[in-house]
Chains A and B, each alone.
Chain A
Amino acid sequence: MRCESFHQNLHEFLDLQLDAQALSRAENHLEACPKCQDLVGEFRLVQSIVARRVVLPDGITARMSVELKRNRRRSWRDRFLDLWDRIRTSVRDMEPISVWTKATAMPVTCLIFFLLLQHFAPVQIESLAFLIVSAERQTSEISSPPLMFSIQVEQNRSELNGIINAARKLPYEDSLTLVAEIDPDGRAEIGDVLEYPKSYDLLNAVQVALSTSQFKRTSEVASPVVIFSLQKIDVYEDSL
């Protein structure tokens, strides 16, 4: 084995992901090659520095534990009372004139905000690329190419908004793949999720949207049909 081929599998070697045969070949080379030994040494040093763990300091742990317990238990009533308390105290501490200014300013701000929302609210679903890429009829003849036909989704804004909102919250590009069965009435039922998204909220949102959306098949096929559908949701917000 030459250095080049050792380098090719270097990271698998470092990560103990080589199979027995490849491993013994790599080890044989390493034994005889001081240059590669140096290289491995350097990478192992890098690994060991990256691998350093830390523990949450005891004081922080204790405080966080208390904090978590409190927040978990807070009921809606508590939260409302808290908010009310805050508003009351802040109003009490204000100058009377300031209270009036704020009281007038608030509805105006709300109105502007509402108008802005109206203006920006409609989000093009295309920008999130919610696509049903292909539909394939399940067939026993494996040799025959899959029968492709398109299905249309009657886009109901409110249903798809769930997906948009779930997708918007994701910092990542996220995708999922699932198999859905479209019944003769055009309702989809998810049979199997082949690729889970990182976010379960997203999966839930897609599940809801699929179960409430109406599908139309554009070509005639015997029903019920098991379709293989691909949904891909991409979020391009910032380049990470």
Chain B
Amino acid sequence: MAELTRTIASEAFADRDELVVRLKEGDESAFDEVFQLYKDMVYTLALKLLADKGESMDVTQEVFLTLFRKIHSFRGECSLKTWLYRVAINQAANRNRWWKRHLQSRTVSLSISNEPDRPAVRELPSNQPSPLRDCYSAELRKALEKTLSELPFEQRVTITLRDVEGLAYEEIAEVTSTSIGTVKSRIARARIRLRDQLQKFKGGEEL
């Protein structure tokens, strides 16, 4: 298992070592590069986990602040990307709980407060090869996104790392520190719930 973890860390995830070196040296352009490189990834992940644009933007900023402030304690045992996943998931989990506790009472989010009429989210076509991409309605998408946001947090994390980030089961297990068996069962449970919703939706449409 240790061997496996190490192999994953060193091969599949080995990215941009030199960027990390430059970050540690305090190279300003490296900070920008990292931000530009991973901002959408972090934002997408946060949005899937929190289902709230303002919160997700705050999380995105927090994640990069954490990265920049703690880069010296980053030891390179895992890749920068894995580290970002973990930080983002932790931050989102914190907010998720906070959010629940405060019964979703609205707070004014700093990052969107002075952005009045612009759509906060610009959509990108998914990179999943899927002929079905354009076949579903916006309502269905919203319904499923709502279901996704109601799944247990761990299931949301797992399904997002799988279907959005395209990580292999082993990689997800590494990021979330669980077994591959757990990863599989979380994926299956999440998808079954989502498919149930899909069927309900279809049934509703036919009526």
Contact = CB atoms under 8 A, between A and B. Distances in A.
Interface of A: 10-12, 14-15, 17, 41-57, 59-61, 63-65, 67-69, 71-72, 170-172, 174-175, 192-201, 204, 238, 240
Contacts of B148: 50
Given A17-B169, A64-B60, A172-B93, A53 B31 contact: no
Contacts of A56: 39-40, 43, 57, 60
Contacts of A69: 28, 31
Interface of B: 1-2, 5, 28, 31-32, 35, 39-40, 43-44, 47-48, 57, 60-61, 64-65, 68-69, 73-75, 77-78, 83, 86, 89-90, 93-94, 96-97, 111-112, 115, 118-124, 126-128, 130, 132-133, 135-136, 140-141, 144-145, 148, 152-154, 159-160, 162-164, 168-169, 175-177, 184, 187-188, 191, 194-195, 198-199
B73 A60 contact: no
A53 B40 contact: yes
Contact of B86 (A55, A65, A192, A198): A198
Nearest to B94: A171
Given A53-B40, A240-B154, A68 B35 contact: yes
Contacts of A67: 61
Tell which of A41, A60, A61, A174 has the most Cβ of chain B within 10 Å: A60
A144 to B, nearest CB: 23
A196 B77 contact: yes
Given A53-B126, A199-B90, 18 more contacts: A15-B162, A41-B132, A44-B130, A49-B140, A50-B159, A50-B163, A50-B194, A52-B126, A54-B44, A54-B124, A55-B40, A60-B112, A193-B77, A194-B2, A196-B5, A196-B78, A240-B97, A240-B152
Contacts of A60: 57, 111-112, 115, 120
A88 B101 CA distance: 34
Contacts of A200: 73-75, 77, 83
A232 B111 CA distance: 38
In the A-B complex, the 4 residue pairs with the smallest Cβ-Cβ separation, listed nearest first, are A171-B93, A48-B130, A194-B2, A50-B163
Contacts of A51: 126-128, 130, 163-164
A65 B36 CA distance: 9
B61 A64 contact: yes
A11 B64 contact: no
A17 B168 contact: yes
Contacts of B97: 171, 238, 240
A238 B154 CA distance: 13
Contact of B35 (A11, A14, A65, A198): A65
B115 A52 contact: no
Nearest to A41: B132
Nearest to A72: B68
A46 B191 contact: yes
A228 B183 CA distance: 27
